[in-house]
Chain A
């Protein structure tokens, strides 16, 4: 693994109850870059993110983080590693019993012995970075979806992590909020000198902000490239994804017996 690579995934396999989800994934995530992992629903993107963060242990293969092997770490070692990671969940996962301020202060209170004054300054700085300093007294129930995502982003970067992971950060956002979150992901990554991995299926927004894209299908990496290479790609999968074509290598229909057999009653009932 070169010094430029922060996350190094080699021949990664993972399955749930014998059903394979990831089948021989190889990926290198360079330091300082924003990398998108894209693919249809159920292709294993979020599972891959969970393997990188050590929430899931792979069946075989390796996940390296800064030279350390994540899948062999004890819980204490994993927790030490996760202090260098931040994660934005699909719907924010804010603590509903804590205010916006306390949500962002949570990792600081748990992992540092900073004074109350310093915590206050740091929290307000993080909230300022996502444009929500004025909302620090609100409760999560008082926030819109986009605002909740921005607060969660401020919380994810509270400890200035080396790696920030985003699980479907654009889901359910209006176009303005979507653009705001996209720009924040890029700016925060550059300002913090961090590395970002973004799991998403929003191709148009991703092409604007990321440095590199991996496409997954059926638990495997099927295509990869820079945004320019992706736009110019003639690969059928990439073409279908970029142009949102209803049919192609990813089928519209769920696998089923032939309609003729089904209508004529030749299919065994479940």
Chain B
């Protein structure tokens, strides 16, 4: 029979640990912003990270975006056909992608592909004392290592989400217009008239920007805070992917409820 007092104590300890880590992450974000000068003064540092986080994620984003668009086209056509409004396929695909699927799925893919790799890189630098060596050479590791990776992720994320949405629209067009035979003009004109730049596209970009901040912060924080052993780094990578996924979905709900509450 488990001791209730012990369980309560463990629950309290776990809760205070979580709150402590949250506070530490907030202080860490403050430190990143404070020491971000070098990331922009020495642009090659940040450009290198945009390459590693953004450019090297292009294949997974393009292929996934295309397939999501193909599936959306198929499912959308199948449903719209019942109501005789297949010409609305364009607007359905575009709104689903720009408002929700583009930012959310791109952020989930970004967390697994780039976020985990950033955590692993920083964690291994910590385990092999490279961060300590840098600190001993009077070079701030937050300014030199963490901040460029953070900003690289923040800048890459909205661009990747936009690309994901664009590929998704192409996928929806391919399946709807090219393969099924929905009218080409109706597909594009419905999309043009139904998608509002400010309301749908800008809100989608804002979402992906917020997801970029969240995923990049989680990735650099977990790497920097990892236990400097093989097991510690591996656990940190797992935490990056899991925490990022949950954070993205929770933030998406919050942002959607604020951004689109007048549309129902």
A80 and B136 in contact, given A89-B129, A91-B129, A96-B128 (Cβ under 8 angstroms): no
Does chain A have a CB within 8 A of B17? no
Tell which of B124, B130, B144 has the most Cβ of chain A within 10 Å.
Answer: B130
Contact, CB under 8 Å: B137 / A110: yes
CB-based nearest A residue for B38: A110
Set B129, B132, B138, B140: member contacting A83, Cβ < 8 A: B138
What does the 1/0 interface line of B114-142 toward A look like (CB < 8 Å)? 00000000001000111011111111100
Does chain B have a CB within 8 A of A220? no
Q: Bound complex: CA of A55 vs CA of B133, how far in Å?
A: 11
Contact, CB under 8 Å: B129 / A55: no
Q: Bound complex: CA of A204 vs CA of B136, how far in Å?
A: 29
Does chain B have a CB within 8 A of A200? no
The residues of B that contact A82 with a CB separation of less than 8 Å are 135-138
The residues of A that contact B124 with a CB separation of less than 8 Å are 96
Q: Bound complex: CA of A106 vs CA of B130, how far in Å?
A: 12
Q: Bound complex: CA of A140 vs CA of B139, how far in Å?
A: 20
Q: Bound complex: CA of A94 vs CA of B132, how far in Å?
A: 11
| Nearest CB in chain B: distance from A159 CB, A | 8
CB-based nearest A residue for B129: A93
Tell me whether chain A's interface is mostly helix, strand or loop, or mixed: mixed
Contact, CB under 8 Å: A87 / B138: no
Q: Bound complex: CA of A155 vs CA of B130, how far in Å?
A: 13
Contact, CB under 8 Å: A89 / B138: no
Set A55, A91, A96, A110: member contacting B136, Cβ < 8 A: A55
In the complex, which range does the number of interface residues on chain A fall in? 20 to 34
Set A75, A83, A93: member contacting B133, Cβ < 8 A: A93
| A residues 46-98 in Cβ contact with B at 8 Å | 53, 55, 75, 78-80, 82-83, 85, 87, 89-91, 93-96
The residues of B that contact A95 with a CB separation of less than 8 Å are 130, 133-134
| B residues 75-129 in Cβ contact with A at 8 Å | 124, 128-129
Contact, CB under 8 Å: B132 / A55: yes
Q: Bound complex: CA of A216 vs CA of B122, how far in Å?
A: 34
Does chain B have a CB within 8 A of A111? yes
CB-based nearest B residue for A75: B140
CB-based nearest B residue for A50: B132
Does chain B have a CB within 8 A of A193? no
Contact, CB under 8 Å: B138 / A80: yes
Set A78, A87, A93: member contacting B128, Cβ < 8 A: A93
Q: Bound complex: CA of A130 vs CA of B120, how far in Å?
A: 32
Q: Bound complex: CA of A111 vs CA of B139, how far in Å?
A: 9
What does the 1/0 interface line of A182-220 toward B look like (CB < 8 Å)? 000000000000000000000000000000000000000
Contact, CB under 8 Å: A106 / B137: yes
| Nearest CB in chain A: distance from B120 CB, A | 12
Does chain B have a CB within 8 A of A107? yes
Q: Bound complex: CA of A53 vs CA of B132, how far in Å?
A: 11
| Nearest CB in chain A: distance from B34 CB, A | 11
Contact, CB under 8 Å: B140 / A89: no
Q: Bound complex: CA of A55 vs CA of B137, how far in Å?
A: 12
The residues of B that contact A53 with a CB separation of less than 8 Å are 136
Set A85, A93, A107, A110: member contacting B130, Cβ < 8 A: A93
| Nearest CB in chain B: distance from A163 CB, A | 11
CB-based nearest A residue for B133: A93
The residues of B that contact A93 with a CB separation of less than 8 Å are 128-130, 132-133
Contact, CB under 8 Å: A111 / B136: no
Set B136, B139, B140: member contacting A87, Cβ < 8 A: B136
Set A94, A96, A111, A155: member contacting B138, Cβ < 8 A: A111
Contact, CB under 8 Å: A79 / B129: no
The residues of A that contact B138 with a CB separation of less than 8 Å are 78-80, 82-83, 110-111
Q: Bound complex: CA of A255 vs CA of B128, how far in Å?
A: 31
CB-based nearest B residue for A98: B130
CB-based nearest B residue for A167: B129
Q: Bound complex: CA of A177 vs CA of B253, how far in Å?
A: 60
Q: Bound complex: CA of A107 vs CA of B130, how far in Å?
A: 13
> Apart from A89-B132, A95-B130, what are 7 other A-B pairs with CB-CB below 8 Å?
A79-B138, A82-B138, A85-B136, A91-B128, A93-B132, A96-B124, A106-B137
Write 12 A-B pairs (CB below 8 A) sorted by A numbering. Answer: A78-B138, A82-B137, A82-B138, A85-B136, A89-B133, A91-B129, A93-B129, A93-B130, A96-B124, A96-B130, A107-B137, A110-B138
6 closest Cβ pairs, A-B complex: A93-B133, A93-B129, A79-B138, A82-B138, A87-B136, A107-B137
